[in-house]
Amino acid sequence: MEWLARIREDIDSVMQRDPAAQSRLQVFLCSPGLHAVWSHRLNHWLWKHGWRFTARILSQWTRFFTGVEIHPGALLGRRLLIDHGMGVVIGETSIVGSDVTLYQGVTLGGTGNAALGKKRHPTLCDGVFVGNNSNILGDITIGANSRVGAGSVVLRDVPPNSTVVGVPAHIIYRNGQRVLITDPHEVKDPLSDALIALAERVERLERAETGVNETLAAAHAFEAEEEEREAYRRELDQLRDYVSMGEGI
């Protein structure tokens, strides 16, 4: 039967991706994330067929027993691995692709700005990895095979094959290449304006310092010339005292 094949596929996926998995029986009995995914499949079927109150009740029971809260309306792909699981929250309009890995404390949440009935939760494409205690908020898309560092807060789209970290998150790797931030505007931090103002002030001070240095260099050059002229005058005075210029001949 198809549902038995899906259960076997899920267990095999955990065996391949979780180093702590020692046997299929252990995975079957001791993987709360897997239990939450299996329960969600039933809850989602009930949700789609109009049994929404029942689906919500069952999802709350699943949260109680597994520590994972998945809204029955969320769309989950195949071979989703929720490792450890405790504190994971997946919102109603979330879409999660296949072969995605979520660690404990991950939230796929909304920002509260979307209208009711509109998509207000993230979309995670295939192969995405999300570290523990990360928050991905709003109707944004995390591209395929991207990674979200632990503790990050992602508020905007992430391109495929990228790694993002920070609060708010910014790209540090893309397609295997290190991404360096040279413009403070790219940080998108609440303190960005302060950083930008500080950078502009430093630039003005550097320009002023350059001007002062040029003025001092010119002054030093003038002083050196004046010293040379003074030395030449002293030398002429000495010659005037000791060298006869033919007077009285």
Residue 140: name the closest of 190, 238, 150, 130 by CA.
130
- Round the average pLDDT of the chain to a whole number and report it: 84
Out of 22-31, 51-60, 167-176, 211-220, pick the least confident.
Answer: 211-220
Strands 135-137 and 170-174: unpaired
Predicted local distance difference test score (pLDDT) of residue 177: 82
pLDDT digits (tens, 9 = 90+) for 160-208: 999 999 888 888 888 888 877 666 566 666 666 677 777 778 888 888 8
Check whether 88 has a pLDDT greater than 80. yes
Between CA 111 and CA 134 the distance in angstroms is 15
Asked if residue 249 is part of any domain, the answer here is: no
Classified as helix, coil or strand, 231 is: helix
In Å, how far are 34, 40, 243 from 56, measured between CA atoms? 19, 10, 116
Determine the structural domain holding residue 194 and report its residue range: 183-244
pLDDT digits (tens, 9 = 90+) for 102-155: 999 999 998 876 666 788 999 999 999 999 999 999 999 999 999 999 999 999
Between CA 22 and CA 228 the distance in angstroms is 87
The CATH number covering residue 104 comes to 2.160.10.10
Check whether 159 has a pLDDT greater than 60. yes
Q: Are 43 and 89 contained in the same domain?
A: yes
Between CA 4 and CA 75 the distance in angstroms is 20
Check whether 226 has a pLDDT greater than 70. yes
Q: Are 166 and 219 contained in the same domain?
A: no
Provide the residue count of the chain. 249
Task: For residue 1, name the pLDDT band (cuts at 50, 70, 90).
Answer: low
Q: Are 72 and 167 contained in the same domain?
A: yes
Q: Are the beta carbons of 62 and 43 closer than 8 angstroms?
A: yes
Between CA 214 and CA 48 the distance in angstroms is 75
The H or E element spanning position 104 is: none
Predicted local distance difference test score (pLDDT) of residue 188: 63
Residue 166: name the closest of 192, 143, 194 by CA.
192
Residue 147: name the closest of 167, 168, 127 by CA.
127
Check whether 225 has a pLDDT greater than 90. no
Check whether 236 has a pLDDT greater than 80. no
Phi first, then psi, for residue 107 (nearest 5°) are -125, 125
Q: How many domains does the chain have?
A: 2
Asked if residue 240 is part of any domain, the answer here is: yes
Predicted local distance difference test score (pLDDT) of residue 102: 94
Tracing tokens 């050196």 back to the chain, one arrives at 224
Q: Are 189 and 175 contained in the same domain?
A: no
Asked if residue 115 is part of any domain, the answer here is: yes
The H or E element spanning position 148 is: strand 147-148
**The overall pTM is greater than 0.85:** no
Q: Are the beta carbons of 40 and 24 closer than 8 angstroms?
A: no
Classified as helix, coil or strand, 88 is: coil
> Which burial class, exposed, middle or buried, applies to 80 when counting CB atoms under 10 A from its CB (0-12, 13-18, 19+)?
buried
Last-in-domain residue among 127, 154, 180 = 180
Residue 103 is encoded by which pair of tokens?
Answer: 């660690």
Predicted local distance difference test score (pLDDT) of residue 131: 92
Out of 92-96, 136-140, 211-215, 222-226, pick the least confident.
Answer: 222-226
Residue 129 is encoded by which pair of tokens?
Answer: 């990895």
Predicted local distance difference test score (pLDDT) of residue 246: 54
Last-in-domain residue among 148, 180, 212 = 180
Q: Are 66 and 37 contained in the same domain?
A: yes
Q: Are the beta carbons of 87 and 104 closer than 8 angstroms?
A: yes
